[in-house]
Amino acid sequence: MIFSSITFLFYFLPIVLGIYYIVPNKFKNLVLLVASFIFYFFGEPVYVLLMAFSILIAYIFGILIDRFQETKYAKLFLIMGITISIGLLMYFKYANFIIQNINLWLNNKIDFIYVALPIGISFYTFQMLSYLIDVYNKKAKVQKNILKLAMYISLFPQLIAGPIVRYTTIDNQIDNRTHTIEKFSLGVRRFIIGLSKKVLIANVLGELANTFLTSNEMSILYYWLYAISAMLQIYFDFSGYSDMAIGLGKMFGFEFMENFNYPYIAKSITDFWRRWHISLGSWFRDYVYIPLGGNRTSKIKWLRNILIVWLLTGLWHGAAWNFVIWGLYFGIILIIEKLFLAKYLEKLPKILSHLYVLLLVMISFIIFNGENVTQILSRIGGLIGIGGIPIVSPESLYYLKSYFVVMVCGIIFATPLVKNIFLSTKKEKLKNVLEPIALVCLLILCTSYIVDGSFNPFLYFRF
């Protein structure tokens, strides 16, 4: 089940909200737990058991770590819990990738493991790891109620696409969150905005990107249309899902961290990654980069730490070499910026530093979406006409005209321009009238697109 579906919007969510607000407070967590398992069961019936087993592992080893906190056994139990959690992730997400490369490099013929990738396994595994590590480091109190821990890990608003919610962020909210009409209305507002980003921009631009992939008529313009549409699609898809998750959290009384902060207005790649997938970046910083020594070590080890983090960041996004290359691509750029380029970027006119970021990010998503190095290089080369392709073609002109308005809207809404204009408007009464009307119109428009059976891909199966 995905958020941008009729089943979720008009059946599952209204029923869950109705039951949630009818039952007494002491049963609200139980309602969310049952709803979350039903939500996951709808898309992954078999792997509900895997998630339940993972929750049991986190619960048992959390208890053991807390019980033996002042002894050498605490670290042993931490290592065991981490090993089992990562082992499950490795098996279901990376086993075939490892086998494929062993067969390739050692000329073996090991049979592939035919298992489906459990949706959201990367997200809930990282949540469990942070919980165990924080209990060990005494940053979080152990949760002795397995139902409450299960609710935290399986909570359906953030289960399949993040943000990665740490236990320390919501431990107090599990029993002491507030429910107000204002918070609920803000949640609905945020959800509809996220849904609109997903359905009206990401899905539409995804159609253009998908059309390029199946076309045999190429031109420089067509390559640029693909690169820009793919770049905007993944931003609006991912940030749209994050907005919907944050909005759903508010509807149920939770406050989740922000996950995107207009990354395409960044003036450096360092700034870009402070704004893009914030929960993932902060997770790797706190649980990998800093434990390795961060930048408080020798320069060689510092550079090593950066590359390790970005190698893992790439692999987190998918079990394929293009993701490894994508992660190391950003790692190398960040090293270059930190060593000497940052001081020059600060002196550049803002427009040039923005263009620098946008160009590098656009190339990164060509890598991200590529199937092999040859294809990646071909698409990057197509941007400058390598291969003797024409500047324009009838097909590329047709798609430019067809998608021009959506692309312009995508570019505008990827900046805080509209938000700032709205916030700067001093006519509060007018805003209070126009905003609900606009949100209702957006919801109706999104529903129409979904009912029409428009392109509605789910980009998070690899996570």
DSSP code of 8? Answer: I
Q: Which single residue is written with the structure tokens 């570019």?
A: 411
Structure tokens at 36: 């979350």
Phi-psi region of 139 (alpha: psi -120 to 50; beta: other; left: phi over 0): alpha
**Contact partners, residue 451, CB within 8 Å, separation at least 6:** 6
Q: Decide: 153 and 54 in contact? Cβ < 8 Å.
A: yes
Active site (annotated) includes residue 317 = yes
CA nearest 113: which of 122, 102, 124, 126? 102
Which of 179, 277, 317, 354 is an active site residue? 317
Q: Is the separation of the CB atoms in 177 and 222 below 8 Å?
A: no
Locate 82 and state its tokens. 């981490």
443 DSSP 8-state letter: H
Question: What angle (nearest 5°) sits at the alpha carbon of residue 462, between those of residues 457 and 463?
Answer: 105
Token look-up 């935290």 returns 152
Percent of residues in the chain assigned helix, strand, coil, to nearest 5:
75, 0, 25
CB 120 within 8 A of CB 65: no
Catalytic (active-site) positions: 317
